[in-house]
């Protein structure tokens, strides 16, 4: 992480592009928490890359005064992997929806997590497909009626927190758009964490699936006595609960991928084509 | 008359050592000063099934794998049955195990029965040494220098003392058998000639060497035949150079990571074969739209679907040229030989960097896997191009990542550059990369992006031309068939026919000016390619509106020069 000399404020991370989200969309809270978190960390904007896939939530790079890529539906993690492997000096944050990261992109998620790249992945989970206008998503609850599930879904919802834990993410947490301050703190901690950090955010879609009331009544902080270094305890907390738990489930120290790959750097040599070709002589 | 140009074909059970015998023999011949050109094919399974290897050795440069087989080495009955019809009827040599094969009489063939299996099993008590026995026999018969063979075997097994000893004994046994029990009755001699330091490389080796020379420092791929060796060699080499390589979870992730690395400022490549190229197609469009350079090697194999993984087809040209949704500029390059693969992959990187587009590099199973001998490329001729980056002025004055320019090329800032921040978008966007007014942007941006190809097209050099200067019959080929086409054309010219060939390496954009000149000077154009539907022929027809005569081959094997020659003769003779 590179820290700026002149103190930066949240505004410095705001681009000239105005968000196009619907009024009240949960993603606004994630965006403003991101600005503030970047300011808390004093990261130089040119050293940050925000990577996203496709979906309402994935528009977020355009609203940030940082480098960014708005890639393909489900493909943010591979692109982020390449960026971080090639340039470990950059702070890479992946941001996207539940459909993006856990439906079409589900094949990439466990691999990014197990590699333990030093990136933060933020899933803005609205339990619906916002951009394509209200089909059900992989995190929709059983019985959820939507345009593509007129009789109610019969599929078990995916559990992103449990999946992150099972895949080997070394930092796993949950936030809620209705609790912006905590969200900001979690983003700060997630970026600071050295390794693959996963932040699951309940981020309601006011247009198609307004769950603010549902979550307001049901979110609760993870009990204070939870030890986030206890993997089994984290798994127990991540199992379906009466309440939707917020906070850090799990935290562990593990060598990060891009550094282990660079264990060779000490023997870094210039490529010598002449020598390379000689082995075929 | 003694002959030192020989086509040797070895056939046997997959996993029996047919390929490694061929490889050792090839390397030893090259080290003795000969030119070599090999072809190999083996079953997709690991063990079992039929494998064969052909090497053409000669004192002058060899351009193709050769027509008929001068020496057939049959490891088993199947090999004899499968290949006997190709054996030279005038001066053929059959080497076989009499315990396995009872050949039919052939009047002008020299027979060398050698009990490989018995020698390996009984004399040496080393069943797996059969292939080295065969290598020894070949060296003994044709006079190859045994010390270079000993060197190879020593190198290969230097860490496994017991195996080394057994293999050296096997080599010795083969040499001895040839010298004591066989009476030389064939005209073939590979006596040591002047020793020129030639390299023996496969197409995949050359692709890696060229890519690293061009500055590639990031590789991501997913294993697939016949491209896997590129992944393996990159994984071995890149970490020592401060680069990184990734065995991705699939081809989508591979190209995604390549584009991420490239966006971040590092030259990056992936390699795959047909099924993988299909998976990469969505990202090819993103590369075109976001103007992030990348090099995609497609080692074509026979399809459709998983098809024939270890067999050849030039079947992905349409995919390379047209695959993808929407319209975006892409550059397509196909090298003609192993040496050409080295130079063209450097070209691929340079064009990707300069034009900020995807570059699809079409190798194929025969080129990726075959080995050829070549002189070490003249490295002083290597030119490396880097993408243009915004100047301090650009950055200070409201930098526009996608600035509309006459050439279509806009300066590309890389992360870490203050003032150069932008989002690489897959959505249609304006000069700044903003996506809020797509209709107006699309109108301007489509031509801006395609202008890159127009700029490049003007710069394309004349493709190599072979044959008669005053030709009236033209042959236009692409990709790995170059050597066979050239040889066929040269044979026709030697017979007095007015034939010439042109072999473009950049297939999109086509070097139209040069092709037009060539085509307009011909009465007739012939297009040979290894596929059923004549993809290149149709492409040329669609661009130049001319009728062409097609020569198509499918079934998984390369052209021989003779096959092309016969067709050209048919055309010339008006049949
Ligand atoms: C390959 C592909 N398939 C489908 C789509 C259409 N599509 C765009 S966004 C989206 C779902 C978005 O849902 P989510 O990721 O949950 O994001 P949200 O819009 O809810 O924030 C879909 C199916 C696409 N762009 N690309
Ligand atoms: S549709 Fe839903 S998710 Fe999309 S912007 Fe509107 S409120 Fe947000």
- B501 has a pLDDT exceeding 80: yes
pLDDT at B31: 84
DSSP H or E run through A175: strand A171-176
- pLDDT mean over A258-267: 77
Q: Residue B543: how many CB atoms within 10 A of its CB? A: 14
- A214 has a pLDDT exceeding 90: yes
B416 touches chain A (CB under 8 A): yes
- B315 has a pLDDT exceeding 90: yes
Give the Cα-Cα-Cα angle B528, B205, B457 (nearest 5 degrees).
50
Q: CB A44 to CB B418 under 8 A? A: yes
Tokens in use for B278?
Answer: 């299909």
pLDDT at B565: 97
Residue % of chain B over a pLDDT of 90: 89
Q: Is the CB of A139 under 6 A from ligand 1?
A: no
- pLDDT mean over B486-504: 97
DSSP code at position B550: E
Q: State the Rg of chain B over Cα.
A: 26
Taking only the tens place, the pLDDT of each residue in B379-435 is 999 999 999 999 999 999 999 999 999 999 999 999 999 999 999 999 999 999 999
- pLDDT mean over B489-502: 97
C-alpha closest to that of A250 among A183, A199, A176, A192: A199
pLDDT at A2: 55
Q: CB B263 to CB A82 under 8 A? A: yes
Least confident span in A251-265, B86-100, B107-121: A251-265
pLDDT at B394: 96
Ligand 2 atom at shortest distance from the alpha carbon of A24: 7
- A259 has a pLDDT exceeding 90: no
How would residue A162 be classed by pLDDT, with cut points 50, 70 and 90? very high
Q: Is A65:B399 a contact under the CB 8 Å cutoff?
A: no
Cβ contacts of residue B236 below 8 Å, gap of 6+? none
Could you give the CA distance from residue B42 to residue B403 in angstroms, rounded to a whole number? 51
Taking only the tens place, the pLDDT of each residue in B512-550 is 999 999 999 999 999 999 999 999 999 999 999 999 999
- A3 has a pLDDT exceeding 60: no
End-to-end C-alpha distance for chain B, whole angstroms: 36
- B17 has a pLDDT exceeding 90: no
- B48 has a pLDDT exceeding 90: no
Q: From its phi and psi, is residue A24 left (phi > 0), alpha (psi between -120 and 50) or beta?
A: left
How would residue B196 be classed by pLDDT, with cut points 50, 70 and 90? confident
How would residue B104 be classed by pLDDT, with cut points 50, 70 and 90? very high
Q: State the Rg of chain A over Cα.
A: 20
DSSP for B156-176?
A: HTTT-HHHHHHHHHHHHHHHH
Q: Residue B169: how many CB atoms within 10 A of its CB? A: 18
Taking only the tens place, the pLDDT of each residue in B329-341 is 999 999 999 999 9
Cβ-Cβ contacts under 8 Å, B416 against chain A? 46-47, 87, 89-90
Q: Is B79:B48 a contact under the CB 8 Å cutoff?
A: no
Q: CB A86 to CB B248 under 8 A? A: no
pLDDT at A142: 97
pLDDT at B320: 98
Taking only the tens place, the pLDDT of each residue in A20-55 is 999 999 999 999 999 999 999 999 999 999 999 999
- A267 has a pLDDT exceeding 80: no
Tell me which residues have their CB closer than 6 angstroms to ligand 2: A 21-22, 25, 27, 56, 126, 130, 205-208
Question: Cα dihedral angle (B255, B260, B266, B271), rounded to 10 degrees?
Answer: -10
A185: CA distance to ligand 2 center in Å? 24
Question: What are the residue ranges of helices labelled H in B39-145?
Answer: 77-83, 116-118, 130-142
Q: Is A187:A120 a contact under the CB 8 Å cutoff?
A: yes
Taking only the tens place, the pLDDT of each residue in B360-381 is 999 999 999 999 999 999 999 9
- B145 has a pLDDT exceeding 90: no
Tokens in use for B369?
Answer: 């896997």
Cβ-Cβ contacts under 8 Å, B423 against chain A? 61-62, 67-70
Taking only the tens place, the pLDDT of each residue in B256-305 is 999 999 999 999 999 999 999 999 999 999 999 999 999 999 999 999 99
Q: From its phi and psi, is residue B435 left (phi > 0), alpha (psi between -120 and 50) or beta?
A: alpha
Could you give the CA distance from residue B51 to residue B323 in angstroms, rounded to a whole number? 33
Residue that is written with structure tokens 């490549």 in the block: B269
Q: Is B51:B13 a contact under the CB 8 Å cutoff?
A: yes
B115: CA distance to ligand 1 center in Å? 67
pLDDT at A261: 87
Phi, psi for B422 (deg, rounded to 5): -160, 165
Chain B stretch 356-415, residues whose beta carbon is closer than 8 A to a beta carbon of chain A: 376-377, 379, 382, 415
- A83 has a pLDDT exceeding 60: yes
- B193 has a pLDDT exceeding 80: no
pLDDT at B156: 85
Cβ contacts of residue B225 below 8 Å, gap of 6+? B44, B273, B301, B309, B310, B365
Tokens in use for A108?
Answer: 């990439």
Q: Residue A224: how many CB atoms within 10 A of its CB? A: 6
pLDDT at B414: 98
Chain B stretch 204-243, residues whose beta carbon is closer than 8 A to a beta carbon of chain A: 205, 209, 212-213, 217-218, 220, 237, 239-242
pLDDT at B248: 98
Could you give the CA distance from residue B112 to residue B95 in angstroms, rounded to a whole number? 5
């Amino acid at each position: 992480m590179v820290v700026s000399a002149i103190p930066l404020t949240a505004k410095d991370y705001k681009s000239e592009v105005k968000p196009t989200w619907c009024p009240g969309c949960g993603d606004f809270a994630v965006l403003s928490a991101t600005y503030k978190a970047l300011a808390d960390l004093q990261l130089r904007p040119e050293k940050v890359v925000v990577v996203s896939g496709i979906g309402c939530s994935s528009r977020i790079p355009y609203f940030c005064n940082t480098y960014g890529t708005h890639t393909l539906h489900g493909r943010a993690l591979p692109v982020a992997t390449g960026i971080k492997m090639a340039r470990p000096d950059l702070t890479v944050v992946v941001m996207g929806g539940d459909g993006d990261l856990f439906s079409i992109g589900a094949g990439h998620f466990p691999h990014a997590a197990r590699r333990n790249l030093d990136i933060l992945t933020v899933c803005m989970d609205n339990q619906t497909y916002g951009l394509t206008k209200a089909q059900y998503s992989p995190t929709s609850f059983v019985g959820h009626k939507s345009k593509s599930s007129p009789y109610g879904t019969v599929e078990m919802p995916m559990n992103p927190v449990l999946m992150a834990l099972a895949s080997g993410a070394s930092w796993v947490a949950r936030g809620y758009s209705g609790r912006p301050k905590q969200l900001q703190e979690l983003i700060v901690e997630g970026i600071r964490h050295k390794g693959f950090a996963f932040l699951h955010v309940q981020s309601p879609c006011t247009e198609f699936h307004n769950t603010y009331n549902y979550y307001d009544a049901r979110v609760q902080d993870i009990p204070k006595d939870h030890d986030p270094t206890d993997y089994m305890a984290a798994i127990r907390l991540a199992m379906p609960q009466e309440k939707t738990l917020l906070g850090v489930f799990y935290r562990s120290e593990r060598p990060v991928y891009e550094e282990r790959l660079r264990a060779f750097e000490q023997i870094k040599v210039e490529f010598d084509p002449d020598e390379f070709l000689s082995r075929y002589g | 008359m003694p002959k030192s140009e020989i086509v040797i074909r070895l056939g046997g059970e997959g996993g029996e050592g047919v390929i490694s015998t061929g490889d050792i023999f090839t390397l030893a011949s090259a080290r003795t000063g000969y030119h070599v050109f090999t072809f190999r094919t083996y079953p997709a399974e690991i063990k079992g099934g039929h494998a064969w290897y052909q090497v053409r050795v000669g004192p002058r440069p060899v351009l193709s794998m050769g027509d008929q087989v001068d020496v057939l080495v049959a490891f088993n009955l199947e090999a004899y049955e499968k290949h006997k019809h190709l054996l030279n009827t005038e001066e053929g040599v059959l080497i076989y195990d009499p315990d396995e094969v009872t050949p039919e009489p052939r009047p002008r063939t020299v027979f060398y029965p050698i009990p490989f299996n018995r020698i390996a099993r009984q004399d040496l008590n080393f069943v797996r040494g059969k292939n080295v026995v065969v290598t020894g026999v070949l060296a003994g018969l044709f006079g190859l220098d045994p010390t270079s063979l000993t060197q190879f075997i020593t190198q290969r097994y230097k860490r496994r003392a017991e195996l080394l000893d057994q293999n050296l004994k096997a080599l010795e046994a083969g040499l001895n058998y040839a010298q004591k029990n066989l009476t030389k009755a064939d005209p073939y001699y590979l006596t040591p000639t002047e020793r020129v330091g030639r390299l023996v490389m496969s197409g995949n080796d050359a692709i890696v060497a060229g890519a690293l020379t061009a500055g590639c420092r990031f590789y991501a791929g997913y294993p697939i035949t016949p491209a896997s060796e590129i992944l393996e060699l990159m994984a071995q080499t890149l970490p020592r150079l401060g680069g990184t390589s990734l065995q991705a979870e699939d081809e989508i992730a591979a190209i995604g990571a390549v584009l991420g690395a490239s966006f971040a400022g590092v030259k990056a490549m992936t390699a795959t074969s047909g099924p993988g190229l299909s998976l990469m197609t969505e990202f090819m469009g993103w590369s075109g739209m976001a103007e992030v350079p990348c090099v995609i090697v497609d080692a074509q194999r026979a399809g459709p679907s998983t098809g024939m993984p270890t067999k050849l087809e030039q079947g992905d040209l349409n995919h390379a040229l047209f695959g993808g949704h929407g319209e975006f500029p892409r550059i397509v390059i196909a090298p003609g030989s192993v040496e050409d693969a080295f130079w063209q992959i450097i070209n691929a990187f340079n064009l990707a960097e300069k034009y900020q587009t995807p570059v699809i590099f079409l190798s194929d199973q025969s080129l990726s896997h075959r080995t050829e001998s070549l002189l070490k490329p003249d490295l002083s001729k290597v030119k490396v191009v880097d993408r243009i980056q915004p100047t301090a002025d650009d950055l200070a004055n409201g930098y526009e990542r996608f600035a509309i320019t006459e050439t279509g090329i806009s300066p590309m800032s890389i992360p870490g550059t203050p003032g150069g921040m932008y989002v690489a978008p897959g959505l249609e966007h304006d000069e700044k990369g903003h996506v809020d007014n797509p209709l107006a942007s699309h109108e301007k941006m489509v031509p801006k992006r395609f202008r890159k190809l127009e700029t490049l097209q003007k710069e394309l050099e004349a493709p190599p031309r072979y044959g008669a200067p005053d030709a009236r019959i033209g042959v236009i080929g692409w990709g790995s068939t170059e050597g066979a086409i050239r040889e066929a054309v040269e044979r026709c010219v030697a017979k007095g026919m007015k034939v010439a060939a042109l072999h473009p390496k950049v297939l999109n954009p086509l070097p139209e000016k040069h092709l037009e000149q060539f085509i307009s000077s011909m009465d007739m154009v012939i297009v040979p390619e290894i596929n059923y539907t004549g993809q290149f022929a149709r492409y040329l027809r669609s661009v130049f509106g001319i009728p062409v005569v097609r020569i198509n081959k499918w079934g998984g094997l390369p052209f021989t020069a003779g096959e092309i020659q016969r067709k050209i003769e048919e055309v010339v003779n008006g049949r």
